[in-house]
Structure 1
Amino acid sequence: MTSLIVFVQRIARIMGYIGALAVIAMMLHISLDVLLRNLFRYSMNTVPEIVARYYMTAVAFLPLGWLEFRRQMISVEVIEFALTPRLRRFSDASVMAIAAVIYGYLAYTNWDKALSETRVGTLVEIATYKMPVWHSFYFAPVGFTLATIVSVLMALGYLFNTTATQIQEAENEH
């Protein structure tokens, strides 16, 4: 189980870094477009589509698993302060199990959509250029699948001390 946790955590971290790189690439791409437009009156027609289809989807979906591992997703703890440590762990495990079900459903539906868009070979027509965008449909299912796996591991971690220890050790190692 420890090797699975370490493997999933490494993949989640890599996806988080790819999401961070997408933010930097988006910033540089937009800045270059603005610079070229203002200095040379030249505009890159594909920037809005690339930003919307690639950068933004990578930023939104790829880091989900990493955020779950780091416990940095938004949470609302209305009655948590009143619960005993045992009930708090059960509550946290329940929340992670529900999250895993939701992420799993989203992953399933998005994998279907990504495969459908791949079969069709989805393109976006920009002026005289047809830009393929079917690749971008894979960011969501990859992110949701990873978040599903992480949520299941976290739920097990809240329920079983050995799994929680293994998750904690994996976090401390890397």
Structure 2
Amino acid sequence: MEKKKWVEPLTRALSWPSRILWVISAAVVLIMALHVLADVILRSFTHQPLPATLEFTAMWWMPLVIFTGLGAAQLGKEHLRVTLFLDGIRGKTRRAAEFISLAVAMTVIGMATVFAFEGALASTQIGETVLSAIAVPVWPIKWVAAFGLAVFMVQLLVSFIEVAAASSAELERLDEADEIFEQMEEEVSG
């Protein structure tokens, strides 16, 4: 139980960027919807599109939604997980498997973060844009992607700390919760 005293404040402190980016992601979804709605209305009444709607949606709005939402999805345990191998194991073996999967995820996302920051820097240096009816700069979004990946990496670290700090009893409760969830899924689908 001693671990719990430091784990919760630490994980809460490390998770605030994910919470902020979740709000930004939600706001961007609203902005994207309004942008597309404006394009549809303009096309309906004037038979002319709103310039660069496709480019802004593809190069700005969608990447913003994706990369600002990664950490929040990890925070809420909402990423898709294939638990085929984890379902049959319990206790310390399950914890070891969780450690390994989180370590692999942190390694891959850590490398992607480094490459994203390098790409953002190169994109900024050349002032990368996409040419359309108007020039749409893409270099700022590359920084958002890099930052979003970094926040995701921190949130994976939080998950790693939570698994490390969980007592055996808590792991057993998680296992029981998984079993109850599986039974509910079988009842619904069967």
**TM-score, length of structure 1 as denominator length:** 0.85
> Which residue of 2 is the match for residue 141 of structure 1?
146
- Which of 139, 144, 153 does residue 158 from structure 2 map onto? 153
Letter of the structure 1 residue corresponding to residue 29 of structure 2: V
For 1:108 and 1:56, the matched residues in 2 are separated by 21
- 2:23 corresponds in structure 1 to 17
Once the two structures are TM-superposed, the CA of residue 91 in structure 1 deviates from its matched residue by 1.2
Alignment of 1:5 with 2:45, yes or no, is no
Q: Distance in 2 between matches of 1:146 and 1:114?
A: 16
Show the counterpart of 2:187: none
Q: How well do the aligned residues superpose, as a CA RMSD in angstroms?
A: 1.8
1:101 aligns with one of 103, 107, 121: 107
Task: Tell me the TM-score normalised to structure 2 length.
Answer: 0.78
Find 1:35's aligned residue among 11, 31, 41: 41
The alpha carbon displacement at 1:64 in A equals 0.8
Deviation at 1:145, TM superposition (A): 0.7
1:7-44 Cα offsets, whole Å, 9 max, x none, are: 32121011112112211111111011010111122321
> Is 1:63 aligned to 2:73, yes or no?
no
Tell me, what secondary structure is at the counterpart of 1:124? strand
Displacement, 1:124?
Answer: 2.1
In the alignment of these two chains, the number of paired residues is 162
Measured in 2, the distance between the counterparts of 1:77 and 1:161 equals: 19
**Inter-partner Cα distance in structure 2 for 1:28 and 1:99:** 35
SS of aligned partner of 2:87 = helix
**Where do 5+ consecutive residues of structure 1 fail to align?**
166-174
- Distance in 1, matches of 2:18 and 2:119, equals 22
For structure 2, which runs of at least 5 residues remain unmatched after alignment?
A: 1-5, 171-190
